[in-house]
Amino acid sequence: MLLVIDLGNSEVKFGIFLKEELKHRFQVSTDLNKSVDEYDAALASIIKNKNIDISKINGVIISSVVPPLSSVFKKLIKTRLNIDPLFIGPGVKTGLKIKIDHPNELGADLVADAVSVKERYGYPAIIIDLGTANKIIALDKNGHFIGATFTPGIKAGVNALISSTAQLPKVSLVKPSKILGKNTPDSINAGAIYGNYAMLKGLIEMIEAELGYECKRVLTGGAAHLFYEDGNLPSNLIFDENLALHGLRLIYEKNVGKRK
């Protein structure tokens, strides 16, 4: 089996694949203060609860946008599984042509997203990855990665608003039924969620206008459920919460081969 790990700014996501099938998926919060032993204990508890036989894991691949955690998980995997994990980075085969100014600066998470969409959904495509940051990336008619647009993530935007004002309260992100809020929490949430929706919709339309053709649209990321959960997505928008995990699997297969 193959273990894939996506080290993100807010969450560390794990997937265990048997060939092409995602058998298990789980996550823990990202915490730069946690030690190898603390992460190991947290994972051991999850693995036990899910009744996962880790002795069958014979390959590991990691994407990381949190450099301090890369060494933590490298040591954790070596200690727990006696495997040297493959990290996405320069020299790793992806099958993706990256046509930007500095290809080596492209985040490993976006590489995984792009590979996943290219091989599983096709192109041209626009990928909307909603997390700590909103990342909109584009694959052209040839399947080449041609650029990205970043904006503050929904939670980051709300936190910045609250921390910059004296009287606005902390709120839980919940999609209100109407755009015009009748109270402060609903007003904050309406601005955050409907405002982001309008911004993202506008950016997608502007990107397609710049490219000169329509694209497949794929939505993913930890905050994507705020748009997906009510079933109100446009019919041409694909939702895939495991997009990066499948991308990691595909990249591993290109470099090492399929795991049984």
Residues annotated as part of the active site: 109
Nearest to 127 by CA among 6, 22, 248, 238: 238
Nearest to 77 by CA among 50, 49, 58, 53: 58
152: β partners = 133
Biggest distance spanned by C-alpha atoms of the chain: 56
How many alpha carbons fall within 13 Å on the CB side of residue 247? 28
Nearest to 141 by CA among 190, 192, 211: 211
Contacts of 46 (CB under 8 A, 6+ apart): 26, 28
Angstrom distance (rounded) from CA 112 to CA 94: 9
Q: In this structure, what token pair is assigned to residue 85? A: 């994990």
